[in-house]
């Protein structure tokens, strides 16, 4: 009898549905569900909280819909309905990434400084000061 070698499947290959944007519910609180999300097969895992939409409450992040998978409990297919996150590279995205409290508050913008200089004159140099 000849030995047959059966090719091994990698842990990620899975017969059935193709891998897509999925979320796994790992906990529940009164304000929402804690999830682990993976957008593509090679993307990193993201942790987040899913909260129901409420009229009058601001949207932060994304609006998503979840469709339960039958093969694994607590695993959902994710569909992004609205991406309210600021685009990467924008000033808003950078301000969200950097928490408050790093350095002094910026109280004067460049436009403010130009206006100040136009009204009151530029900064004086050491040589222009009187005794």
pLDDT at 1: 45
Mean pLDDT of 85-101: 63
Q: What tens digit of pLDDT does each residue of 1-40 get?
A: 455 544 444 444 455 556 789 999 999 998 899 999 999 9
| Order of strands, sheet of 22-29, starting from the edge strand that comes earlier in the sequence | 46-50, 32-38, 22-29, 75-83, 62-68
Provide the sign of the torsion angle of the four alpha carbons 118, 123, 127, 128, taken in this order: positive
Q: Tokens for 67?
A: 């469709």
Tell me the per-residue pLDDT of 49-92, one tens digit each, with 9 for 90 and over. Answer: 999 999 998 888 899 999 999 888 899 999 999 887 777 777 66
Instruction: Give whole-number Cα distances, 54 to 23, 34, 62, in Å.
Output: 22, 18, 14
Using alpha carbons, select from 72, 50, 76, 74 the residue that is nearest to residue 63: 50
> What is the number of residues in the chain?
131
pTM for this entry: 0.54
Selection from 71, 79, 72 nearest residue 50 by Cα = 79
């Amino acid at each position: 009898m000849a030995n047959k070698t059966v090719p091994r499947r990698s842990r990620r290959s899975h017969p059935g549905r193709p891998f897509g944007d999925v979320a796994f519910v790992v906990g529940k609180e009164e304000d929402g569900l804690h999830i682990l999300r993976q957008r593509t097969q090679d993307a990193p895992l993201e942790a987040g909280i899913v909260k129901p939409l409420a009229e009058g409450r601001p949207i932060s992040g994304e609006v998503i819909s979840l469709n339960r998978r039958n093969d694994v409990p607590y695993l959902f297919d994710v569909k992004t309905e609205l991406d309210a996150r600021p685009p990467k590279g924008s000033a808003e995205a950078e301000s969200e990434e950097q928490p408050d409290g790093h350095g002094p508050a910026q109280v004067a913008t460049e436009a403010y400084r130009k206006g100040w200089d136009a009204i009151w004159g530029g900064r004086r140099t050491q040589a222009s000061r009187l005794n």
